[in-house]
Amino acid sequence: MSEHTESGVHVASMRLLVTIMIALMIGTWLTVSVTHFDFGFLNIWIGLGIATVKAVLVGLYFMHLRWDKPFNAFVFVSAFAFLFLFIGFATMDSAHYQDVIIPGWPLK
């Protein structure tokens, strides 16, 4: 799948790069075509799922995470973890206080 230079550096093979690129193109086509079917609220999650698969492919193969020290991947994933923590709390709280918001404020 991939050769190594003398000092243990990983070189991605052409075949791998091309297959990943094609996989990403298919993924894009998939996300677009999914929107034509109405799965209700599921749509957003299916779309996010496919996008995450694409992101993981880019991360693992294009960004060499698969052959790299695992700490690098840990750093990258922890960034997403802290982001989801922030999104979770902010969305939960704002959803709970929507009932006191005056729509269309300031009323002329």
Residue showing tokens 């209700």: 40
**x/- binding map, residues 58-77, to other proteins, per CB under 8 A?**
xx-xxx----xx-xx--xx-
Dihedrals phi, psi of 12, to nearest 5 degrees: -75, 140
Q: Which two tokens stand for residue 30?
A: 């998939």
Residues in 14-33 at the binding interface with other proteins, rule: CB under 8 A = 14, 17-18, 20-21, 24-25, 28, 31-32
Q: Residues 6 or more apart from 86 whose CB is under 8 A from it?
A: none
Using CB under 8 A as the binding rule, whether residue 42 contacts other proteins is answered as no
Q: Is 12 in the site for other proteins (CB under 8 A)?
A: yes
Amino acid at 10: H
Query: Cβ of residue 1: shortest distance to other proteins, in angstroms?
Result: 13
